[in-house]
Amino acid sequence: MNDSIQTAIIEAGREQIRAEAEALHDVLDQLDERFVKVASLLHGMTGKVVMTGSGTSGFIGRRSAHLFSVSGTPAFFLSPGDGLHGSMGAVEADDVMIALSKGGASSEINELVSRVQSVGTTVVAITANGASPLGQIADITIELRNYPAADPGNLLAMGSTLAHSTWLDALAMVLMRARAVSWERVHFTHPGGAVGLLASLPGQLDGLEIPAYVDERPSRAVASAGSQIA
């Protein structure tokens, strides 16, 4: 292969990596009181975290549900399609749903969010458009600004979904420290693969205090599952 062609290919790859790295670094300046509010909400909840999202956001949701669970915050992923075909019956009032959508206009996500809210579930939205339908109906909206250079054509959600994933990783680690989850517990729940074969584990993470969650939302009517059946 011609050296100049090889160099051009490598540089094209590096260009995308640089753009995505910048998008992730941009998240640093966007951690604010909303991050603390969501940490307080999840730390004090008695249910589970329910991740949802479509397309690329759905894959990020699955990843985050796994990492929440293994780090001490019980979670599962619910696809919007399955949710609207009966699986939303698994979502209860003491759960917290985290809905991921860059544009915030996915009709199936927004309908699922509205329905779980009607039974009392608190919904956190992570989106690049806080003025979107999802951003407006969620109980807490996390708007992570768009970084077009990291999403080719501003159509392929590459850097933006990594940014959302990084925000959620930070949340999982904060909760792990606040709950004093030990590496022994992680090891117990992860007996497979190379992790399960480890003979020694890291030292305990430093603890972290999270304030109690204060619900500032106006009270809303909560329907029972039975009352929604005509």
Interval 20-43: pLDDT, tens: 999 999 999 999 999 999 999 999
How many domains, in total, are found in the chain? 1
Amino acid sitting at position 60: I
pLDDT digits (tens, 9 = 90+) for 7-20: 999 999 999 999 99
Range of the domain at 112: 3-228
- What would the mean pLDDT of 185-210 be, rounded to a whole number? 92
Q: Report the pLDDT value the prediction gives residue 151, as an integer from 0 to 100.
A: 92
pTM, entire model: 0.91
b/e burial code for range 101-124 (CB count within 10 A of at least 16 → b)? bbbbebeebbebbebbbbbbbbbb
Q: Distance between CA atoms of 192 and 27, rounded to whole angstroms?
A: 32
CATH number at 110 reads: 3.40.50.10490
Confidence band (pLDDT; 50, 70, 90) for 215?
Answer: confident
* R_g of the chain computed on alpha carbons: 19
Sign of CA dihedral 176, 48, 132, 55: positive
Per-residue model confidence (pLDDT) at position 199: 87
Q: Say what the pLDDT of residue 61 is.
A: 98
